[in-house]
Amino acid sequence: MTRSKDLFSGSRRKFMRGASATFALAAAGLSAPKIARAAGAVKIGLIHPATGWAAYPAAQLRYGAQMAIADINAAGGIKSMGGAALEAVLGDSQTKPEIGAAEVEKMNEAGVHAIQGCYQSAVGLAASAAAAKYNIPFSVDVGVSDKLCSVA
């Protein structure tokens, strides 16, 4: 059985933990120069609608990312960085694109090294564009828009 089948054959919790851990490792690799300069914890921004109509389903993504961060830290952190711990920086998009982009601005000021979010394509488009201004790696956890998902 392939690894992808293993990932999808288990529980939702197993899937979210695996997907979030994959993001955390990919983010660490994508922003290695910025992370290499990190003093202390490696900050991962998590932008999801914590309030509004999509708060409940989006909470599952946030919990999965937080579980992955906890698991990585419990296993000794990022080994290649001398055991550096991951730290979640939480943002609430309130299901609104302009607020999702504003959360990126706040996270940039807080010194995040990578961002994951946003549960909705419209918010993901706005937030990923804002993250691109600062060269912050951005992983979309849920999105269906062709503008967001296409590779050109």
Convert the pLDDT of each residue in 112-122 to its tens digit.
Answer: 999 999 999 99
Which range marks the domain in which residue 131 is found? Answer: 7-149
Residue 16 predicted with pLDDT over 80: no
CA distance 81 to 139: 21
Q: How far apart are CA 79 and CA 42, in angstroms?
A: 12
Show Cβ contacts of residue 35 under 8 Å, excluding neighbours closer than 6 positions: 28, 42, 81, 84, 113, 114
Total number of domains in the chain: 1
In a domain, 2, yes or no: no
What's the mean pLDDT in 14-26? 55
Share of the chain above pLDDT 70, in %: 72
pTM above 0.85, yes or no: no
> What value does the mean pLDDT of the chain take?
82
pLDDT of res. 144: 78
Distance of CA 63 to the CA centre of its chain: 11
Q: Is residue 145 included in any domain, yes or no?
A: yes
In this structure, the chain runs to a length of: 152
Please tell me the distance from the alpha carbon of residue 96 to that of residue 21, in angstroms, as a whole number: 26
Tell me whether residue 33 is in a domain.
yes
What's the maximum distance between 2 C-alpha atoms anywhere in the chain?
Answer: 44
Residue 11: give its domain's CATH number.
Answer: 3.40.50.2300
For residue 130, CA distances in Å to 43, 99, 106 come to 17, 11, 11
Position 47 in a domain: yes
Q: Is residue 1 part of a domain?
A: no
The predicted model gives 143-152 an average pLDDT of 69
